Amino acid sequence: MSAPGEIKTLTKIAPPDIAVITNIKPVHLQFFNSIEEIAFAKKEILDGTKNDGIAVLNGDDPLVKKIAADWKGKKILFGLSAECEVRAQNIQKVGWEGMSFELRYGNREEKISLPFFYESHLCNFLAASAAAKALSVPFEDILPQIITLKLFSHRGTLVCLAKNIRLIDDSYNSNPAGLESALKALASLPSKRKIAVLGDMLELGEKEVEYHIQAGKQVAEWGWDILVTVGILSQHMADGALSSGMRADQIFSFKNSEEAAEEILTLLQEGDLILVKGSRKIEIEKIVERLKMERQ
């Protein structure tokens, strides 16, 4: 989504029977003046949905609920709160196995395990489950498919390297909300050290420096041991990390992924956890491929 009216044009071509809004976060701010503008651009999918259509909405997101307040058709809420018809409850983190929880699906309930680490992945799972409910898919048909779920490549996938080093390949893209979700979720996983390899986050508009500083602060506050920045903007993450207590000898900054990969290979120790995440233009996936080639 790169401009107001883009979704409206698409709904004129193919009016939705079911409209799904997963969340509203600070992304694409290069093209919008505020998160509120993003919200109303996303509202275009509701405005273009058929009159007898169904809105599948994140019941935990205040902005989603705001833009859907005047929706007159049927709606299905998903999330963690009690008002959500499709929700996860009693969530437990189970280390490198991912997470387990009770899935509430209307008046049905089942214990579920997923090999996911991020809350954002759980949110997407609930959105898909709610969309299935909108399609009247029986609960019994959903359950056998859940055990087959796995993440797409470069979207937070776990790669086991030599010497018990675990790599989280999240190199497809990055934004402030997604990065915060990753840093928070992975901080509690067992490992010798935690290394965050973070590239620039793009399309953030006039607040891009502020968002990068905040990300660096989160690295320090969540107890990560080493920060490696890749790109120009990500150097502001180093500033944020320093201001929140990380030492200078815990931080390494590089202009490109090739230079960063060389240093990371010398830094890695047995039992480390390493997160690699950045925007597509930074080509941070080159670090992932180099690590897999050298250490797998």
CA 244/CA 252 separation, integer angstroms: 16
CATH architecture of the domain 157-295 equals Alpha-Beta Complex (3.90)
Residue 296 has pLDDT above 80, yes or no: no
pLDDT digits (tens, 9 = 90+) for 205-225: 999 999 999 999 999 999 999
pTM of the model as a whole:
0.92
Predicted local distance difference test score (pLDDT) of residue 295: 75
Asked if residue 167 has pLDDT above 80, the reply is yes
Task: Give me 140's structure tokens.
Answer: 């019994």
What residue segments make up the domains of the chain, in order of their start? Answer: 6-146, 157-295
Mean pLDDT for 153-177 is 96
CATH fold for domain 6-146: UDP-N-acetylmuramoyl-L-alanine:D-glutamate ligase (3.40.1190)
Q: Which helix (H) or strand (E) holds 286?
A: helix 285-295
Spatial strand order in the sheet of 54-58 = 18-21, 54-58, 74-79, 86-93, 99-105, 108-114
Compute the average pLDDT of residues 160-170: 97
Q: What are the DSSP calls for 16-45, one per residue?
A: -SEEEE----S-STTT-SSHHHHHHHHTHH
What is the bridge-based pairing of β-strands 86-93 and 99-105? antiparallel
**48-74 tens-digit pLDDT:** 999 999 999 999 999 999 999 999 999
Mean pLDDT of the chain: 95
Domains 6-146 and 157-295 share a fold: no
Give yes or no for residue 19 having a pLDDT over 90.
yes
